[in-house]
Amino acid sequence: MNSNTRTELSEIGELGLIERLKAFLPSKSENIIKSIGDDAAVIKNSDDSVQLISTDLLMEGVHFDLAYSPLRHLGYKAIAVNVSDIAAMFGTPSHIVVGLALSNRFSVEAIEELYAGMKLACDAYSIDLVGGDTTSSRSGLGISVTVVGTAQQAEVVYRSGAQVNDLICVTGDLGAAFMGLQVLEREKQVYLANPEMQPELLGKDYIVERQLRPEARIDVVKSLKSLGLKPTSMIDISDGLASELMHICKESNVGAYIYEDKIPVDPLTFETAREFDLDPLTIMMNGGEDYELLFTIPQSDYEKVRNHPDISVIGYIKAADEGVNIYTKGDNLTAVTAQGWSHFKA
């Protein structure tokens, strides 16, 4: 390591930093099945089961803005985004620990409101909050959540299992959370210009809720298991469909073709994107924070999901040398590029 060399974080981004840090994180235990590089670490128990462990850090001013994020909603979201990582491994969440960094502008009642939201989420996902840590902060609120889940070793789904000719599926609809954020940011600016103005959120409830209080798709995981269907690969959509699809293709050493007209989008998301003079396809591909699931299945399992109300088939896996591409509505084949959220970008 050359101590005279300085590389800016903006030069390599979050994923580049993770790749660099892998060199410092060798797995010493034979019980570690998967460490860095997936939605959760996978650690073998003494029987045929495994523990799934994941953590997320939410920072004020980066991941949320308290000008329009109610503390109860924020508490719920902090739990849901972590549970989503366990869902993406095809596991069952069981326990949560929470770390808080607090400044003295927060009252005891405010923190209780935050925890009330966490409790609602824990009740919704049947998990227990079993402890954590608190510390002071000079730069706003920080929330660190670690989730522990369980699965049978043979049931775990990784990003690396996609096979050529598999179908590519997504749950729910995409782009809603990003457009909800645009609406909230617009109304914040209006308020700052004139505090007498009331926010105009009428009719935007769905996309605003998708931003402020997302849901982890544990329900879909349970549904797939009841259908006797195990995906070949899976990831949750936190940074945008394009980014997550490229993660699966990289880890599985495959390519992909998807179709614009197959990507699910709510009409309100589409209309609001047009209202903001944004390209709906760009929002669907790169919006992020939807916390839906992207997964692949063998073609032989198509009949099991064909009529599922929360699952859309959007394309299929190809050989790696064919790249990752999208057929737009004009039937033009375009290479997919990831433009979603990236920490440390310049």
Q: What is the pLDDT of residues 148-174, one digit of tens each?
A: 999 999 999 999 999 999 999 999 999
pLDDT at 342: 52
Please say whether the beta carbons of 327 and 213 come within 8 A. no
pLDDT at 329: 87
| % helix, strand, coil for the chain, step of 5 | 40, 25, 35
Residue 239, pLDDT > 70, answer yes
Least confident span in 33-47, 117-131, 157-171, 262-276:
33-47
Superfamily, domain 9-155: PurM-like, N-terminal domain (3.30.1330.10)
Residue 346, pLDDT > 60, answer no
Please say whether the beta carbons of 218 and 125 come within 8 A. yes
Query: DSSP 3-state assignment of 231?
Result: coil
Over the Cα atoms of the chain, what is R_g?
20
pLDDT at 307: 94
Q: Which helix (H) or strand (E) holds 88?
A: helix 71-88
Phi, psi of 75 (to 5 degrees): -60, -45
Grade residue 319 by pLDDT with cuts at 50, 70 and 90: very high
Query: DSSP 3-state assignment of 337?
Result: coil
> CATH topology for 159-335?
Phosphoribosyl-aminoimidazole Synthetase; Chain A, domain 2 (3.90.650)
Grade residue 344 by pLDDT with cuts at 50, 70 and 90: very low
Alpha helices in 194-316 (DSSP H): 205-212, 218-226, 241-252, 267-275, 280-286, 302-305
pLDDT at 70: 96
Grade residue 215 by pLDDT with cuts at 50, 70 and 90: very high
Residues 284-300 pLDDT 10s: 999 999 999 999 999 99
Domain residue extents for the chain: 9-155, 159-335
Grade residue 58 by pLDDT with cuts at 50, 70 and 90: very high
pLDDT at 16: 76
Grade residue 276 by pLDDT with cuts at 50, 70 and 90: very high
Tokens 């692949």 correspond to 296
Q: Percent of the chain having pLDDT more than 70?
A: 95
Of residues 256 and 15, more confidence is placed in 256
Please say whether the beta carbons of 305 and 204 come within 8 A. no
pLDDT at 79: 98
* DSSP string for 169-217: EEES-SSHHHHHHHHHHHHHHHHHH-TTSPP--TT-HHHHHHHHS---T
What is the spatial distance between Cα 51 and Cα 42, in angstroms, rounded to a whole number?
A: 6
What is the spatial distance between Cα 246 and Cα 244, in angstroms, rounded to a whole number?
A: 5
Q: What mean pLDDT, rounded, does the chain reach?
A: 92
DSSP state, 64?
B
Segment 25-52 shows an average pLDDT of 82
Of residues 345 and 185, more confidence is placed in 185
Of residues 20 and 175, more confidence is placed in 175
Please say whether the beta carbons of 269 and 283 come within 8 A. yes
What is the spatial distance between Cα 227 and Cα 283, in angstroms, rounded to a whole number?
A: 31
Tokens 């949320």 correspond to 64
Segment 42-68 shows an average pLDDT of 93
Residue type, 236: D
